[in-house]
Structure 1
Amino acid sequence: MKNQHYPILLALGAVTPVGQTLAAEDGADTQGIEVIEVTARKRVETLQDVPDAVTAFSEADIESARIENVSDFVNLTPNIMFRKTFRAGASYITMRGITGTQQGLPPVTYVVDGVQVGAADFINQDMGEIQRIEVLRGPQGALYGAGAMAGAINVITKQPTQDLSGKFKVQYAEGNDISANGYLSGGVSEDVYGLISVGIRDSDGLINSADGRDMDFNDTRRVKTRWQYLGENLEADLRLGYAKYEQGAVMQDLVPIGSDINSFSTSPKRSFIGKENQEFKDASLKLDYSFDDFTLTWISAYQDAEQDLIGDLDWSEANIFLQDLADNFDVTSHELRVTSNSDSALRWLGGMYYQKRDSFNKLSIRLEPTPGEIGASIFQQTDTKQDTIKAAFAQLNYDITDNVELTLAARYDKVDFSTYRPLTEAVPYLDTKGNPISQLSSSDSEFQPKASISWDITDDTMLYATYAAGFRPGFYNTGSVTKAETTNNYEIGGKSMWWENRLQLNGAIFYIDYSEQQFSTIVPEAPFRAVENIDATKIKGLELEGKLLLTEDLLSTLSYGYTDSEISGGIYEGFSAPVTPKNTFNLGLQYTRDISDWVWSSRIDYRYQGDFFLDRREELNANSVQYLNINTSLEWQEWRFSVFAENLLDEYTITNATFIPADQPLLGVVSGTITAFTPGRQIGASVEYKF
């Protein structure tokens, strides 16, 4: 399954170090590091003025690093990890020792143009045309609400232009991976601008079964459109999107008991190649009306996900069992916010938020009479759920002196959640006395305060200290209620610019007191999934980020994240937080140079990610991994020609693992360790025309 490694010296010798980002966007000083403006605190500020640990990617960064999906920018950020498991929708983010669970809210709130996504299933999609990405580390519940206990990710899509503009790009890569995407933008009147973005992809994939069949194939079709009205006092922003995916699923390997799950020496054996169908629809309308002293903002959004999967359940070449899944979401949300317009010493905002989420989850076990044939169902369980979030929030920023700013923020969230399953199904719900019932309901609520003080020692150096509370509500998973979890977070950090804005250094140290951590596992008996709460976890860590403009053509970036954690109490006593690497390290070089009428730019990014545990069993540990990505391009007028390599070192890593003991086999036939893993190296090229 795994190809021979390229020697690292060959990789470094074949590509010139990649150069600086000196775009004029966001008011950059052309003799220094690009100054990026962010909206982390729901108002426009420069990155260096925000007293939070934030990694921001400008449009130039996104282009040079070929950021096309969530894992691309996560792998450039310290103390964060993204895992795709047995299907695209079952993806998880881990940040600062806090990770996701099946059926629960993600620990990081994911926001696109001001709209919070309703479930983790919406996150792992092609991103389309992106203008900026902001990764906020540390609890952001005071502004972003329930679930943002580890942080938040703001994605800002490309805005329409008044003048006609556009892009068309075609790409080919290993795995017979062919894609084409682009956009067209322009004004239809003096005040109304529009942008339409489309993308298609057909790929055989990089993972093959033992008999040579494609397992991680992908067939994607997407279209997104954005329309803006810019009046004297009123601004309106309408977004519509549709995406359809047909892709490989259940690509796990079944590793025999006692074997090394990190060896990757064999390919998965299959009688049935898994397939997942996903269809996403989304729409949102944002209205901003400016008064003299404040701006009134209204955001309404709708998101719909229809997902079904069929795949092997015995993970072997034998035709025995299949798993038939459905995971559907229907989400509506509304937000009303009032924000002060003044740049005076006192700045404020406040608002209310409402979200309703209806979901349907089905698991069926089917027979496989002959290889590749879908047979009769022998087991089925369904869960119909409804969750509502009602919240109110506020934030005050006050300049105590010219150099000292105090930030006070708070949010109250009330979450009601219920689940329904017919009594006729194989595993009914049970009440507290053990009697079968069809519906369960519960609620959680929490006040999430945040206080921060920052001190501008000089115009280029700032220190800050923050306390914040985090909260993630409970949920139902196959009839079992999972308790809400909370954190108390303490952070000290600093941001600085040196050497005439040619050196940027940011850093933070943090401590988290974590209660009732949610953790999900697979079990060999119906209902096959279990969620538990880990009593108490202590987490401490640090983050360092730096950019150095070595010459006018050469920019170096470096980041380091360290997370040390320990669980106290229960069966995980003494373990570190699950799915949490202790160390992450990033090093990047970007080089840009004019050559006659051409512009040559190259970028190389290195990522080290430490080992982590997936379960308390000693054998369920994922080894450390190193990634090396390279992108080099030549630009001539409106044309760009690029060659790239992702995961050049051809590294694999475990993303999920489930141990099935021999004395408790799944469905009476399966024992061993079921592992999900990342694909290997991919090399490709693209041609782009932009006007």
Structure 2
Amino acid sequence: MQSSFPSQARPLTVALLALSAACASSMAWAQASSPEPAKPATEEGAAKLETVVVSAQRRLERLQDVPVAVKAFSSKQIESMGIKSTQDFINLTPNMSFDNSFTYGNSFVVLRGVTQINNADSPVAVVIDGVPQNDQKQLKMSLFDIERIEVLKGPQGALYGRNAIGGAINIETKAPSDKFEGFVGLGLGNGKTRELTGGISGALKEGVALYRLVGQSKRGDGLIQNTFLNQPLDAIDKDDSLRARLLLRPSESVQIDLRASATDLRGPATWDSIVQSKNPADIVAPKENMLGKTWGSTRDFSAKVEADLALGTLSSITSRTKLVENYRGDIDFSNPVDLPKGFLGLGFQAGQGQNRSVQLTSQELRLTSPADQPLRWIAGLYYLDTRKDLETRVFVDTDGSNDQFDDTSKVIVNLSERSHNKASALFGQLDYDFNPALTLSTALRYDRDQREQQDLIGGGMREASYSKWQPKLTLTRKLGRDDLVYGTLSTGFRSGGFNAPGLASFRPESLSNAELGSKMVGLDGRLLFNVAAFASQSKDFQYFYVDIKSGSQVIANLDKVNIRGLDMDFRYLPFKGLELDGGLGMTHSIIAKDSINAANEGKHTPKNVPFKLNLGLQYSQALGAGLMGSMRLDYEHRDQKYWHPDNAAVSPALDLLGLRLSLRDARDRWSLTLEGKNLADKRYYADYNSAAYSGLPYDLGSLASGRTYGLELKYRFD
């Protein structure tokens, strides 16, 4: 097994990880041997950090007992940090970035250097309430009524499958309650943003049938100005979500969790700016003559059944999803005044659009042994059926309207394809306690993808299959109740697939990872410090570009990439009411071999941010008259970002500030919050494509929103 890991990375790995383990051991020894520090002067004696529970290993465990680098957010932290979207919690997570561009639902997540790209499987497995989300468009979401968020870093393929090559995201929504309760929230912000959230929960039959129904509606006029049309181009016409859960307990040993959700949206699309200077530091306003739009819907249903047997807990998770996303917009990202010769000098303006429909059906069966024994195990089977239809067109633009997509007399490029993917897997994990302080964990997963692509215009058909064994080995040493060190060897896999009809397919990507980490709690429960160092090697690293000859979106491979880095998280409670938190991430992701373009060797991988720092300060204080006040200040530093394999386009480092001021009653019945993000109004591109990769003779930058601020009122009742 060791031979699958990069030999050139081992010396650095050993050095970094030995240092990490030595630091943790020294800190634990110092804590045990030094005199007990004076307790802070509070009303109740020594304050302690909140204990966070996670399900990272498919069991509920304390965060500090899990030998995985996990960034976790409890419901209390989600509330205090103002986490309301995928973007929010990823901004707070070291070694991770998230960019939204091109369509309202499109996103690019990067975790430890492994990148999400268009039209391919995500590098991060996303699981909501135990149900895998299997499409790229399901990552960007509004987060409301959330109990817990967990970001697992490093390959998690053994338990989470082929899409966990970079890590996994677990999201748990709040469960139905026995007693009747509810909430309503109203948010108003700049750009005429309006957001209404509400929900109710209770029992149809106490202890037997519980329900929870929550929803959110969002509108906004936009913040990014199109200077040619003289209007914002990022308006949210609607983003409506409804989620229902029904929890049934027909007996003490059986639980049935039924979940249904629906989302309808209409938002922006193709809001890129032409950057003639070819410098990502040069901020240019969009000047398109077409106002791009995305619209679509998601319908999702799942059933999770758990039965306690003598052997363990048998879980069945069935899911059915239908997702539609359509977009229309400019393809030359210009207008007749600035581009009089037209699209590619052809004498006319041009637009683009796509209709995308996906149906996903999945089934997982899992048997989990009891947790209170020295030998613990998990075994399971998984199946996923994906059917996708894509219709993509480029058309002559004569009047700037989006409905020109449907005028066949204006269509100049027409691509239509249907794909069918059947994925199956078997997996298992064994944990054995040699003694209370030493645990060995082994896991193994086998994934197989069978893919078909049909060209609905040309009539061609392609078929291929991809498979991979993904082993994992972890040794954990407990140094105390709250302290441990661990070492892990793990693997991840992302399937290969097909580009547009007529273009070559792309190869599957695999990653081998070596990691050492430590976790500790000190200062009488007031300090949490977790650190992990890792070294990985990726084979056939996948990346994305637009082919300038055909105008097609292309996924290609870099033969070999070496990745090494460090993850660190901390929380510190100096005294009751004041908490500091943060972390840093370092990812050195370098192209070791590129057989297509050797000039890229030695350069950073696409979308790599080598360094990220997060710091947060939160202070709460009783104000009298039954009122509580709180303030939270967040600082995020992002290092420069390398957009493409040639490293020619590099965005400068970025510093972002956020502030939340809240007032609530002592019983937490109501709260009023004033919030601001990107307070310094830093302008930057959330995505950037230089001419060599955009398919156009100029660079394109997709602007992120500038400063945002708003007021939020919440009321809870029972």
TM-score with structure 1 setting the length: 0.91
C-alpha contact 2:388 2:418 (8 A) present in aligned 1: yes
Q: Which residue identity is paired with 1:671?
A: P
Q: For 2:186 and 2:694, how far apart are their aligned partners in 1?
A: 47
Q: For 1:408 and 1:123, how far apart are their aligned partners in 2?
A: 29
Counterpart in the other structure of 1:476? 498
Q: For 1:343 and 1:157, how far apart are their aligned partners in 2?
A: 26
Do structure 1's residue 382 and structure 2's residue 399 form an aligned pair? no
Counterpart in the other structure of 2:674? 643
Counterpart in the other structure of 1:15? none
Counterpart in the other structure of 1:159? 175
Which residue among 592, 595, 603 is the counterpart of 1:575? 603
C-alpha contact 1:103 1:475 (8 A) present in aligned 2: no
Counterpart in the other structure of 2:660? 631
Do structure 1's residue 138 and structure 2's residue 162 form an aligned pair? no
CA offset at residue 88 of structure 1?
Answer: 2.5
Do structure 1's residue 314 and structure 2's residue 345 form an aligned pair? no
Q: Secondary structure at the match of 1:149?
A: coil
Counterpart in the other structure of 1:206? 223
C-alpha contact 2:545 2:694 (8 A) present in aligned 1: no
Q: Could you list the per-position Cα deviations for residues 117-176 of structure 1 after superposition, in whole angstroms to 9, with x for gaps in the alignment?
A: 111111112123110000000110000010101100000011011101111000100000
C-alpha contact 1:625 1:652 (8 A) present in aligned 2: no
Counterpart in the other structure of 1:690? 716
Q: Secondary structure at the match of 1:246?
A: strand
CA offset at residue 665 of structure 1?
Answer: 10
Q: Which residue identity is paired with 1:649?
A: A
Q: Which residue identity is paired with 2:262?
A: Y
Counterpart in the other structure of 1:255? 275
Aligned counterparts, 1:171-210, within 5 A: 171-190=187-206, 191-210=208-227
Counterpart in the other structure of 2:533? 509
Aligned counterparts, 1:1-400, within 5 A: 31-190=47-206, 191-211=208-228, 212-218=230-236, 219-230=238-249, 231-256=251-276, 258-264=277-283, 266-318=284-336, 320-372=349-401, 374-375=403-404, 376-400=410-434
Counterpart in the other structure of 2:638? 609
Distance 1:261 1:124, change over 3 A: same
Q: Secondary structure at the match of 1:481?
A: coil
Q: Secondary structure at the match of 1:482?
A: coil
Counterpart in the other structure of 2:628? 599
Q: Which residue identity is paired with 1:290?
A: D
Q: Could you list the per-position Cα deviations for residues 263-310 of structure 1 after superposition, in whole angstroms to 9, with x for gaps in the alignment?
A: 21x311021100000201100000000123411100000111111111
Distance 1:365 1:687, change over 3 A: same
C-alpha contact 1:293 1:342 (8 A) present in aligned 2: no
Distance 1:310 1:629, change over 3 A: same
Q: For 2:471 and 2:542, how far apart are their aligned partners in 1?
A: 21
Distance 1:489 1:111, change over 3 A: same
CA offset at residue 617 of structure 1?
Answer: 4.4
Comparing 511-520 with 473-482, which one deviates more in the overlay? 473-482
Which residue among 403, 419, 438 is the counterpart of 2:437? 403
Counterpart in the other structure of 1:659? 690
Q: For 1:280 and 1:307, how far apart are their aligned partners in 2?
A: 9
Q: Which residue identity is paired with 1:557?
A: D
Comparing 271-280 with 652-661, which one deviates more in the overlay? 652-661
Distance 1:30 1:330, change over 3 A: farther
Q: Secondary structure at the match of 1:40?
A: coil
CA offset at residue 682 of structure 1?
Answer: 0.5
Distance 1:618 1:546, change over 3 A: closer
Q: For 1:410 and 1:677, how far apart are their aligned partners in 2?
A: 42
Q: Which residue identity is paired with 2:546?
A: I
Q: For 2:604 and 2:448, how far apart are their aligned partners in 1?
A: 31
Q: For 1:252 and 1:382, how far apart are their aligned partners in 2?
A: 25
Aligned residues: 644
Comparing 670-679 with 468-477, which one deviates more in the overlay? 670-679
C-alpha contact 1:118 1:303 (8 A) present in aligned 2: no
C-alpha contact 1:359 1:385 (8 A) present in aligned 2: yes
Do structure 1's residue 539 and structure 2's residue 563 form an aligned pair? yes
Q: For 1:125 and 1:164, how far apart are their aligned partners in 2?
A: 27
Q: For 1:524 and 1:303, how far apart are their aligned partners in 2?
A: 35
CA offset at residue 470 of structure 1?
Answer: 1.1
Q: For 2:709 and 2:47, how far apart are their aligned partners in 1?
A: 34
C-alpha contact 2:546 2:694 (8 A) present in aligned 1: no
Q: For 1:411 and 1:87, how far apart are their aligned partners in 2?
A: 34
Q: Which residue identity is paired with 2:460?
A: S
Q: Could you list the per-position Cα deviations for residues 542-568 of structure 1 after superposition, in whole angstroms to 9, with x for gaps in the alignment?
A: 111111101101000020101112212
Q: Could you list the per-position Cα deviations for residues 523-555 of structure 1 after superposition, in whole angstroms to 9, with x for gaps in the alignment?
A: 223252122110111111011111110110100
Q: Could you list the per-position Cα deviations for residues 610-656 of structure 1 after superposition, in whole angstroms to 9, with x for gaps in the alignment?
A: 11211244542222211111111100241111100011121233232
Q: For 1:281 and 1:30, how far apart are their aligned partners in 2?
A: 48
Q: For 2:482 and 2:317, how far apart are their aligned partners in 1?
A: 36
Distance 1:33 1:371, change over 3 A: same
Q: For 1:665 and 1:179, how far apart are their aligned partners in 2?
A: 35
Distance 1:30 1:121, change over 3 A: farther
CA offset at residue 378 of structure 1?
Answer: 2.0
Q: Which residue identity is paired with 1:235?
A: Q
C-alpha contact 1:303 1:331 (8 A) present in aligned 2: yes
Which residue among 437, 442, 461 is the counterpart of 1:439? 461
Q: Which residue identity is paired with 1:304?
A: K
Q: Secondary structure at the match of 2:252?
A: coil
Q: Secondary structure at the match of 1:400?
A: strand
Comparing 362-371 with 490-499, which one deviates more in the overlay? 362-371
Q: Which residue identity is paired with 2:327?
A: L
Counterpart in the other structure of 1:430? none
Q: For 2:129 and 2:530, how far apart are their aligned partners in 1?
A: 26
Q: Percent identity?
A: 28
Q: For 1:569 and 1:456, how far apart are their aligned partners in 2?
A: 40
Which residue among 458, 465, 471 is the counterpart of 1:449? 471
Q: For 1:102 and 1:220, how far apart are their aligned partners in 2?
A: 22
Aligned counterparts, 1:449-468, within 5 A: 449-468=471-490
CA offset at residue 259 of structure 1?
Answer: 4.2
C-alpha contact 1:102 1:477 (8 A) present in aligned 2: no
Q: Which residue identity is paired with 1:234?
A: V
Q: For 2:479 and 2:321, how far apart are their aligned partners in 1?
A: 45
Q: For 2:150 and 2:320, how far apart are their aligned partners in 1?
A: 23
C-alpha contact 2:65 2:482 (8 A) present in aligned 1: no
Counterpart in the other structure of 1:620? 649
Distance 1:665 1:31, change over 3 A: closer
Q: Which residue identity is paired with 2:132?
A: Q
CA offset at residue 574 of structure 1?
Answer: 1.1
CA offset at residue 30 of structure 1?
Answer: 8.2
Q: For 1:167 and 1:477, how far apart are their aligned partners in 2?
A: 46
Distance 1:65 1:438, change over 3 A: same
Q: Which has the higher helix share?
A: 2
Q: Which residue identity is paired with 1:462?
A: L
Following TM superposition, where does structure 1 have runs of at least 4 consecutive aligned residues deviating by more than 6 angstroms? none
CA offset at residue 481 of structure 1?
Answer: 1.0
CA offset at residue 193 of structure 1?
Answer: 0.6
Counterpart in the other structure of 1:499? 523
C-alpha contact 2:415 2:457 (8 A) present in aligned 1: no
Q: For 1:202 and 1:373, how far apart are their aligned partners in 2?
A: 21
Counterpart in the other structure of 1:12? none
Q: For 2:551 and 2:397, how far apart are their aligned partners in 1?
A: 21
Unaligned runs of 5+ residues in structure 2 are 1-44, 337-347, 405-409
C-alpha contact 1:37 1:46 (8 A) present in aligned 2: yes
